[in-house]
Copies of this chain bind each other. A is one copy, B any other.
Amino acid sequence: MADERDSGFVKEIRKQSADFPGWYTDVVRKAQLADYSPVRGCMVIRPYGYSLWENIRDPLDGLIKETGHENWYFPALIPLSFLMKEAEHVEGFQPEFAMVTRGGGKELEEPLVLRPTSETMIASVLRDYIQSYRDLPVLTNQWNNVFRWELRTRLFLRTLEFLWQEGHTFHETAAEAEEEVVRMLEQYRRIAEEWCAVPVLAGRKSDTEKFAGAQYSMSIEGMMVDGKALQMGTSHYFGDNFTRAYDLTFTGRTNERQYPYSTSWGVSTRMVGAVVMAHGDDSGLQLPPRIAPVQVIIIPIFRSDSERVQIDTALQQVLTDLEDIRVKVDWRDERPGFKFNEWELKGVPLRIEIGPRDLAKGEVTVVRRLNRAKQNVPLGDLGVTVPAMLEEIQAALFTRAREFREAHTVRLDSLEALVKFFDTSIGFVVTPWCGRTEDERTVKDRTTATTRVILGASGPAAQPCAICGRPASVEVAWGKAY
């Protein structure tokens, strides 16, 4: 039996180190998170993946509501003319429009665009609800699907249709709107770090990397196991760009007509991809306990019906003791080794093995997905030990990911050093930077890396820009990005 428990099982997933993109697709599909659909670029999110998404979505919905936002639902179909009003926005999104041109058997007079994002619809609708400074702020959020006609797609990371939340807020002053941008980025940081256990860099994007139509954008960026950056959430400051374009005004405190300042911010099912790529290994997924659909998998090990009954009886008390934990018992008629591998592939943080010999000793074997560390735990202690182990694993995954990022982040001060780094290494390069777009072009041409986030102003004794030698104004993180 011991042999069988530890026996290998070919899961047919490519090696992470040999083919990271192949490994990613295999894990997403074989762990039954999602699959490609018969429609080009669209995915089917399977129950295990959707449940993982629910475990990210629900706490995020809580954070959004706690910070005073309310959920609305706005139409998915946006008249083309609405989208054409903000010049930069059109330019950014038009190439990806999916257009409804026929409805009810007739050609439409004006095509309707499937929302790629809802700034234009929401500004158009809220014109009717915002009249006076007393109506502000308006803090909206919606959970919905959006459509972007992407040519190269990858499950969860970039698909033609995806699920997200998009918050849109309107404020009396620029200062309030800018505070909002930071406040929501902080909620995203919390979801990424405290729930998904993915440490992130949070900061402003460069002008090159900002959202089409924003005055500036901020983002959180995680480092994946291949050393590439993944943008996991964005928060945008629009100033009055959109409210001017949509003639959305209010009567201010001194009776003058003013444009509100607006923001938007979004997190999508891409977060699921981040969890896969930040924690997974050659055995498959590795899920942080707080978001794992199954936190504990129990594998009964028996050779006769009477052993089965004996285990089942003992499990009743265990299940009661673990009632606040997401536990599943795998009674399927398969070899234990098969089950071990399958639940490892699915990234379940803790496995409990329970057989007659364990029972005779009044204990079970608890195995962590993380490093496969084993430990015997008395049956009666599980109600205390298991929650503590889950907490510990949650923290350990975060620490491991942070240490990985730190080990793969270097501070460099010349273009040559940066180019050399990206030639042979993976990770983030932090440099002083003057902020010029030309420098980003230079680096991208030579390395494919881009600026991910601006980490802050450069110090008083500022070094020169690592790329061009001009005086630096900021510290920036460079990385190859998804």
Contact A75 B105 (CB under 8 A): no
Instruction: With both chains docked as a complex, state the minimum distance between the C-beta of A342 and any C-beta of chain B, in angstroms.
Output: 15
Is A39 a contact of B112 with CB atoms below 8 Å? yes
Most buried by B among A37, A42, A104: A104
- The reply to whether A95 and B99 form a contact with Cβ atoms under 8 Å apart is no
Residue A82 interfacial (CB < 8 Å)? yes
B42 in contact with A145 (CB, 8 Å): no
**Set of chain B residues within 8 Å of A105, measured between Cβ atoms:** 94-95, 97, 149
Copies of this polypeptide in the complex: 2
Instruction: Please state if B39 and A79 are interface contacts (CB–CB under 8 Å).
Output: yes
Whether A37 contacts B95 by the Cβ 8 Å rule is no
Measured between beta carbons, the chain B residues less than 8 angstroms from A124 are 38
**Stretch touching chain B among A45-53, A304-312, A313-321, A378-386:** A45-53
Measured in the bound complex, the distance between the Cα atoms of B150 and A103 in whole Å is: 9
Given contacts A99-B103, A102-B111, A50 and B73 within 8 Å (CB-CB): yes
Across the two chains, which residue of chain B brings its CB closest to A54? B71
**Contact, CB under 8 Å: B45 / A161:** no
Q: Residue among A42, A100, A105, A160 with the most chain B CB within 10 A? A: A100
Q: Is B38 a contact partner of A50 (Cβ separation < 8 A)?
A: no
- Does A151 make an interface contact (CB < 8 A)? yes
Quick check: is A447 within 8 A (CB to CB) of the other chain? no
Q: Is the CB of A125 within 8 A of B72?
A: no
Across the interface, name the chain B residue whose C-beta is closest to A65.
Answer: B51
Q: Does A426 contact B (CB under 8 A)?
A: no
Assess whether A47 is in contact with B75, with CB atoms less than 8 Å apart.
no
Contact B98 A39 (CB under 8 A): no
A207 interface residue (CB < 8 Å to B): no
Let me know if A215 is at the binding interface, CB within 8 A.
Answer: no
A75 and B161 form a contact (CB under 8 A): yes
0/1 per residue, A37-81, Cβ < 8 Å to B?
A: 111001111110011001000000000000000111111111100
Q: How far apart sit A140 and B70, CA to CA, in the bound complex (Å)?
A: 29
Cβ of A246 to closest chain B Cβ, rounded Å: 11
In Å, the complex CA distance between A47 and B68 comes to 12
A163 to B72, CA, bound (A): 12
Is A96 close to B, CB under 8 A? yes
* Of the residues B72, B79, B147, contact of A46 by C-beta under 8 Å: B72
Contact A101 B104 (CB under 8 A): no
Residue A173 CB within 8 A of the other chain: no
- Interface: A114 (CB within 8 A): yes
* Given known A-B contacts A102-B111, A103-B98, A50 and B37 have beta carbons under 8 A apart: no
| Complex interface: chain B residues within 8 A of A96 (CB) | 104
Residues of B near A39 (CB, < 8 A) are 75, 77-79, 112
Q: Which of B42, B51, B70 contacts A77 (CB 8 A)?
A: B42
Question: Inside 8 A of A54's CB, which chain B residues have their CB?
Answer: 71
Whether A77 and B149, one on each chain, are in contact in the complex, defined by CB atoms closer than 8 angstroms, is: no
Interfacial chain B residues near A38, Cβ < 8 Å: 79, 82, 121, 124-125
| A132 interfacial contact with B, CB 8 Å | no
Chain B residues whose C-beta falls within 8 Å of the C-beta of A163 in the assembled complex: 73
Give the Cβ gap from A109 to chain B, nearest Cβ, in Å: 10
A414 at the interface (CB under 8 A from B): no
A144 at the interface (CB under 8 A from B): yes
Give the contacting residue for A100; candidates B43, B50, B98, B128; CB below 8 A: B98
Q: How far is the CA of A43 from the CA of B144 in the complex (A)?
A: 14
- Give min CB distance, A268 to chain B, whole Å: 12
Q: List 13 A–B pairs whose Cβ atoms lie within 8 Å, in order of A's numbering.
A: A38-B82, A44-B72, A44-B73, A47-B71, A50-B71, A50-B73, A76-B145, A95-B104, A98-B112, A99-B103, A104-B151, A114-B114, A145-B145
Would you list the 3 A-B pairs with minimal beta carbon distance, nearest first?
A47-B70, A104-B149, A42-B75
Known contacts A50-B73, A51-B70, A101-B102; can you find 5 more A-B pairs with CB under 8 A? A38-B82, A44-B75, A76-B145, A102-B111, A145-B145
